[in-house]
Amino acid sequence: MQPEHWSTIVANIVTSLGILSFLGFYFAHRQTQNQFKFTVMISCIERFQQLFPIIRNDAEDISRLIKYVNLTNEEFFYFQRGYIPKEVIVEWMDSIVEYFPIYVSGSELPINHDRILFKQIHEDKLLDDYPRLKKAFTLTVGQEISMPRDKIKLIKEIAVNLEISLSNKHFKRAMVN
């Protein structure tokens, strides 16, 4: 064989190895990212499962309630960063809106005041220490949302406040209707 042929063969082998290495790195990176996201989600679920039964039975325990508010704030951070699948966001938000006060901009009294399960979050102004939550749970002026009839509309508005786009397919996959 002529030397040009050898150099072409070597160049093709090196190029092929480079492409295979890149593909291997890409798929390993994706797998690591997916594992990280799964770990974040499992961590939130486990912490919620440890905390929530205690809070539900003793909603007056302010320290535990603050831990729940803190966990929710952290979950919203993960929502914003895309660490939690959108269908899971919808599922979690479906219950979160039952426990947190929902405000209309400029109003002191939550629109869900008579139905909120953890009134102490509003009464003790716990959201004041959590700007992300305060922004998420404050609707723009003029929103026509009636709880619980418009729960999907409410979740979508909260998602917009968090700069997350949710479509109807996310609600269908989460089976929230």
| Residues contacting residue 93 through CB under 8 Å, at least 6 positions apart | 155, 158, 159
Residue 54 to residue 95: CA distance in whole angstroms: 16
Residue 155 to residue 60: CA distance in whole angstroms: 26
Residue 76 to residue 56: CA distance in whole angstroms: 21
> Looking at the 3D structure of the chain, how many domains does it have?
1
Please give the pLDDT value at position 141: 61
Segments forming the whole domain that contains residue 84: 3-174
**Distance in angstroms between the alpha carbons of the first and the last residue of the chain:** 71
pLDDT in tens, 82-106: 999 999 999 999 989 989 999 998 8
Confidence of residue 4 (pLDDT cuts 50, 70, 90): confident
Q: What would the mean pLDDT of 29-47 be, rounded to a whole number?
A: 85
Confidence of residue 134 (pLDDT cuts 50, 70, 90): very high
The pTM for the full model equals 0.78
